[in-house]
């Protein structure tokens, strides 16, 4: 997924299809009564030889992915992102606040670089790509808050509303899409990038395509293969 990366951490193997950046850290905010054992905190993921590379990817379709090796930590569409997502940049860190169906969640990523300058350059590159979909705040004049310092100092930020907090593997995603019971997806997957009013005509167009049933069977077959990996 990550492809070949330059010194700034940006993928250059398939520049027209996707861009990827190596990350130093990914932090998921855990409010009270969640995975945090009753205390608000940050759950931090870092790359390692055993876990694999930590990578942020934005693909041409408008999807944003954060992966650690084969584990998908974040995955959602940036289409209509301004209606459910706010992003702020602070130095080499991007803070994401997502709200969907009355629930909120927060995560942040810190970019990797051989030097601080390279990390800042990678963050700037990702920021420019994000700005194709939504504004990215840069509160340069505001002093850092406890939330903004939490990823480095592991301080406890104020609590946010209770949310679904979970990473998900590609295998689990495939099982869920195939309808396997007992599986639930993270909050990000509850957001639909396609307006409901457009869904009917889109489905009718698909059904009128004679190749569509074969495509559905092929997709289902590939999903079943993923559940066995």
Q: Looking at residue 195, what is its pLDDT?
A: 52
Q: What is d(CA 66, CA 74) in angstroms, rounded to the nearest whole number? A: 5
Q: Looking at residue 7, what is its pLDDT?
A: 41
pTM of the model: 0.59
Class of domain 18-163: mainly beta
127: tokens are 């920021």
94 backbone dihedrals φ, ψ, rounded to 5°: -115, 130
Q: Choose among 87, 173, 183: nearest CA to 130.
A: 87
The per-residue pLDDT string of the chain (229 residues; one tens digit each, 9 = 90 and over) reads 444 444 445 443 333 468 999 999 999 998 875 554 556 789 999 999 999 999 999 988 889 999 999 899 999 999 899 999 999 999 999 999 999 878 889 999 999 999 999 999 999 999 999 999 999 997 653 444 444 455 444 443 443 333 344 556 667 777 766 666 655 566 555 555 555 555 666 676 677 677 777 878 888 888 787 777 6
Q: What is d(CA 96, CA 102) in angstroms, rounded to the nearest whole number? A: 16
Q: Where in the chain is the domain with CATH 2.30.29?
A: 18-163
């Amino acid at each position: 997924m990550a492809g070949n990366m330059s010194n700034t951490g940006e993928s250059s193997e398939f520049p027209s299809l996707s861009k990827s950046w190596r990350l130093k850290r990914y932090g998921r905010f855990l409010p009270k009564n969640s995975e945090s054992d009753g205390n608000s905190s940050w759950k931090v993921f870092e790359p390692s030889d055993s876990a694999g590379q930590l990578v942020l990817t934005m693909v041409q379709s408008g999807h944003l992915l954060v992966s650690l090796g084969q584990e998908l930590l974040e995955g959602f569409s940036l289409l209509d992102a301004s209606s459910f997502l706010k992003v702020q940049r602070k130095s080499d860190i991007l803070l994401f606040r997502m709200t969907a169906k009355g629930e909120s969640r927060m995560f942040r990523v810190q970019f990797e670089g051989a030097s601080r300058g390279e990390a800042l350059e990678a963050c700037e590159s990702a920021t420019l790509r994000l700005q194709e979909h939504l504004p990215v705040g840069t509160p340069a004049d505001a002093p850092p808050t406890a939330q903004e310092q939490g990823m480095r100092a592991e301080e406890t930020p104020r609590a946010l509303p209770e949310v679904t907090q979970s990473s998900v593997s590609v295998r689990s995603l495939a099982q869920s899409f195939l309808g396997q019971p007992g599986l639930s997806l993270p909050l990000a997957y509850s957001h639909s990038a396609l307006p409901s009013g457009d869904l009917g005509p889109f489905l009718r167009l698909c059904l009128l395509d004679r190749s569509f049933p074969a495509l559905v069977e092929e997709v289902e077959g590939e999903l079943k293969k993923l559940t066995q990996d």
